[in-house]
Amino acid sequence: MNDDLDDPTVLVPVNVADPVEPPPALVELLHPHHVVVLGYYPVPDQASPEQFQAEYGEEAAAAVEDVSTSFADAGATVESVVVFTRDRRATIDRIAEESDCHAVLTGGSIGERLDRVFVPLKGDVNLGRIVEFVGALLAESDATVTLFNVADSDDEEASGEFLLRGAADRLADDGITEDRIDWRQERSGSPGVAITAAASEADLVVVGESEPSLREQLLGDVTERVIADSDRPVLVVRN
């Protein structure tokens, strides 16, 4: 993967069988970066992808072009691809890998403005990439960021606070002003529940991928719960 997070690449999957225009506030946040629009067309198990492509190829290409134009008109560098697939998750994982994407967007609702970004953190190997990605994401934005940690013991609470303070300092070093950075910690034995509840106050959630592949991560663990239970867009930062 391209490790240059000064100019991150974000994969934006779009179901071209039922396309939805990206929210303008999200386009505004992502426009300084490189965007890969993946138009995927779900194909039933009993059908042939080639048959669906022959029938709906032009329609799918037009839908992807519309979404790509939204980002390009805002100033983003954009590339696009259309895939007819029986396995959405496998396709997203493959295109993210082939396109050297640093993060993958999942769908969700957002208002007219994107003012608050929520970032749950834990002490895993992906921590540095998550914080670096958030710094690059917010570099040309006025949005604030809340760093969040869940602990279920005194030891975890102490290490979690150390983690949050370090992440806040790193964002400040990356040029995010201190008045835009907040951190919070909660005590809970159910991280997914606590994170989902806290994330409801934000406009966008940024989470880390902790499994070997995005496909596996999207199938389970805390990240999957946040994606499933939150009605906010989620950016999954890849390892």
Give tens-digit pLDDT for 215-224. Answer: 444 334 566 6
CATH number of 9-101: 3.40.50.620
Give tens-digit pLDDT for 66-105. Answer: 999 999 999 999 999 999 999 999 999 999 999 999 999 9
**82/38 Cα distance (integer angstroms):** 6
Percentage of the chain exceeding pLDDT 70: 88
Residue 4 is predicted with a pLDDT of: 60
With residue 42 as reference, give the H or E element that holds it: strand 34-42
β-sheet bridge partners, residue 34: 9, 77
In degrees to the nearest 10, what's the CA dihedral of 100, 119, 152, 184? 160
**47/51 Cα distance (integer angstroms):** 7
Give 177 or 208, the one with higher predicted confidence: 177
Ranges of each domain in the chain = 9-101, 116-237
Give tens-digit pLDDT for 121-157. Answer: 987 657 889 999 999 999 989 999 999 999 988 888 9
Q: With 80 as the cut, is the pLDDT of residue 35 above it?
A: yes
Residue 226 is predicted with a pLDDT of: 67
Task: Answer yes or no: are the C-beta atoms of 71 and 30 closer than 8 Å.
Answer: yes
Task: Answer yes or no: are the C-beta atoms of 108 and 230 closer than 8 Å.
Answer: yes
Task: Answer yes or no: are the C-beta atoms of 146 and 183 closer than 8 Å.
Answer: yes
Residue 3 is predicted with a pLDDT of: 61
Same CATH topology for 9-101 and 116-237: the answer is yes
Average pLDDT score over residue span 168-189 = 94
Q: Which pTM was predicted?
A: 0.89
DSSP-derived 3-state class of residue 176: coil
At the top level of CATH, which class does the domain 116-237 belong to? alpha beta
Residue of 165, 153, 154 whose CA lies nearest to 121: 165
